[in-house]
Homo-oligomer: A and B are copies of this chain.
């Protein structure tokens, strides 16, 4: 392991407390990366954890955890590339099942956490020990499952450009560049919108219309060149989305 990344809905001074705890336990040089998720957003956490899961040799400390201190489980996931530590509340839904080598359900006995900050008092301690070569089996018993929420045909994320990232795999699109596609959006307030989008290679190939293209994260994205597609369409993370035939 050569990097540690915190993916959380926490402010920077809480994040620094987590990094601080990790470094208390870990002597060697480690790269640190911090990624912010909006407060309580399980779906956004799913997407960002997935997006970064391809990086190698990273310990990911994941803290989107409104149930902190209650009976929700804490899990450690070892994949072929890296480790994930966090609450088992759905945030790990998009981690590829085929990559997973082992799942540990943490037993809290060896920790004495404050009830509101397990990121610092449990996850960071585990991360520091993993970085030091500690075996994850010592933190609890092996289990088979993590909680997965259903994200099929949903809007996974809206980035700060207003680009809409869907849960539809890039491989699902068979159109040719320049074709106009009909996209149906089912908002959580039951409103349904059907928009026309041009299938393009990259944003700037079309300056006026909505565009749809194979996004860099592996999912189809809908955007508008130098504009905010999500605002124009008034859609939100979690809304349903479908390409019509």
A interface residue numbers (CB < 8 A to B): 2-3, 5, 7, 11-14, 16-17, 19-20, 23-24, 29-36, 39-40, 48, 51-52, 54-56, 58, 66-70, 114-117, 120-121, 159-161, 201-205, 213-216, 221, 225-226
Contact B70 A160 (CB under 8 A): no
Knowing that A13-B48, A20-B55, A115-B201 touch, tell me 8 more A-B residue pairs with CB under 8 angstroms.
A12-B35, A16-B55, A20-B52, A24-B55, A39-B161, A66-B204, A68-B204, A116-B221
Some 22 contacts from A to B, beta carbons below 8 A apart, are A7-B13, A11-B160, A12-B36, A13-B52, A16-B33, A16-B52, A19-B31, A19-B33, A20-B33, A20-B56, A31-B32, A68-B202, A69-B201, A69-B202, A69-B203, A69-B205, A114-B215, A115-B202, A115-B213, A116-B203, A116-B215, A116-B221
Task: State in angstroms the CA–CA spacing of A24 and B52 once bound together.
Answer: 13
Among B2, B215, B216, which residue has its beta carbon within 8 angstroms of that of A120? B216
The copy count of this chain in the complex is 3
* Residues of chain B with a CB closer than 8 A to A56's CB: 20, 24
